[in-house]
Amino acid sequence: MKSVVRLVVGITLLVGAVSVVLLCLKIFEHSGVRVMAEGDYDAQTRIQTLLEYIHEREAELDERAEQKRVKLHQCVQLRHLENEARQVNMWIRNSESMITAGLVCPGSLHEAEQLRKEHDQFQPAIEARPLLYLVCRSVRHILGGPGNQSHFCIH
């Protein structure tokens, strides 16, 4: 009994598949695509030819899909690059504004000379500070350690 049911189901599926293929063949023929004339070839040859045609179209579609995927991936990479470029430009603008806010640019030769004189006055003090720190530390050490603070040392 089970084998009869399987046979009936198998035949039904086969008839259904053949019907679908023949329907596809008729649709192709009505749409202007002529695969083969009915009388020239048997059903198996026509189905085989139709399957080959479908596989060729499928391969073409797969190739197009891969090309689209590559283009989409490139677009995503471009968007990431554009976002990073915007971020870098923003950092540059922010840095420029911070630098120009703290930077004094002379407007004339006289102002430039004045800034140079101020720089020359402060430069020795800047260079002497580490030396002064070492001297103070040595004096503290000599006077009795870190608890004894000298009045003339810079902290």
Is 19:28 a contact under the CB 8 Å cutoff? no
Domain chopping of the chain, boundaries: 2-103, 107-155
Handedness of CA 150, 151, 153, 155 (dihedral sign): positive
DSSP single-letter state for residue 41? S
Averaged pLDDT for residues 26-51: 70
The share of the chain scoring above pLDDT 90, in percent, equals 22
Quick one: tokens of 50? 């139709």
More confident residue, 76 or 43: 76
Taking Cα atoms as reference points, which of 90, 27, 86 lies closest to residue 54? 27
Residue labelled with tokens 């749409």: 31
Q: What is the pTM of this model?
A: 0.39
Compute how many other C-beta atoms are within 10 angstroms of the C-beta atom of residue 22. 15
- pLDDT by residue (tens digit) across 55-102? 999 999 999 999 999 999 999 999 999 999 999 999 988 888 877 777
Compute how many other C-beta atoms are within 10 angstroms of the C-beta atom of residue 36. 15
Diameter of the chain measured on Cα atoms:
120
pLDDT of the residue at 155: 47
Q: How far apart are CA 153 and CA 135, in angstroms?
A: 8
pLDDT of the residue at 96: 82
Which uninterrupted H or E stretch holds 37?
Answer: none
